Structure 1
């Protein structure tokens, strides 16, 4: 598929913003409101990139990341968090294949750069 981006975020307003920006640049955007839904959507749509909030109800971004990597060890996942990238859980996730930890807020330029970079891999 190549141009599909999965946004997993419990803030519906933020999902709307990410979705609008990415769709304006011709990305197919799938969304989920928590980590459990994110895993289900990942299996469904096989996105080129997953942008996931670190702190969500039901299943947080770190738990969902681990499960996604168990499904596809080559999955491209970015976690957006209010915590420092040097937090132990972020360092641990990077050791296990997390592409990047981004401190909130995720800017438009960085969002598009990530989406473009990881869509090219699978096109």
Structure 2
């Protein structure tokens, strides 16, 4: 079966652009102009991934994310936003989003994010809970894994924190969790002075 992407945005022109990008990758597309339409479509069609706008009338992206998570705990949700503030990212991650794409949309970046999130979605679709351990949220965990998988070179906590964005302390806690699971390798780099700098690589 082919891949189906659900696009949720109240702007028809943006939906058209996103649809063209998805069609370029030979993915089928479902369109919703509101959060309520998205939930109805999701429940009926069970798409493989959701592209979700933040600013929408009636149901915004956060409320829609929570509603989708009530239906599916594992489907990847990529939030589209012009807002780079840390508190917005934290709110979406806590609601269950898995990744972010900044507007204006750049096709190569979005295609890469969709592909990696589809892979992660396949790996996690059989999990029964968004919580894999006490205090560990599946969505946040997948976002950090997502970033590390895409990197050829080891990354610092600062690298990850700036890219997602997720708070420094949160990244550190999740990396420790992944290290304990044997999924992340910690590489210490020693300089001429001071403490060694740790970098992290997905195994």
2:74 aligned residue = 74
Given that 1:52 and 1:80 are in contact with CA atoms closer than 8 Å, whether structure 2 keeps it comes out as yes
**Which protein is bigger by CA-based radius of gyration?**
2
Quote the RMSD (CA, aligned, Å): 1.9
Aligned match of 1:95: 94
Deviation at 1:89, TM superposition (A): 3.6
CA–CA distance in structure 2, aligned partners of residues 73 and 85 of structure 1? 25
TM (norm. structure 1) is 0.87
Which residue number in structure 2 is paired with residue 59 of structure 1? 59
What is the CA–CA distance in structure 2 between the aligned matches of 1:39 and 1:104, rounded to whole Å? 23
Q: What CA distance in whole angstroms lies between the structure 1 residues aligned with 2:39 and 2:64?
A: 6
Stretches of structure 2 lacking an aligned partner (at least 5 in a row): 123-203
Structure 1 residue 100 displacement after superposition:
1.5
How many residues matched? Answer: 122
- What do residues 8-43 of structure 1 show as CA deviations (whole Å, max 9, x unaligned)? 011101111111121122100101001111111111
Equivalent residue, structure 2, for 1:43: 43
The reply on whether 1:111 has 2:110 as its aligned counterpart is: yes
Unaligned residue ranges in structure 1 (runs of 5+): none
User: Residue 9 of structure 1 aligns with which residue?
Assistant: 9
SS of aligned partner of 1:93: helix
Q: SS state of the match for residue 6, structure 1?
A: strand
Distance 2:75 2:113 in 1: 14
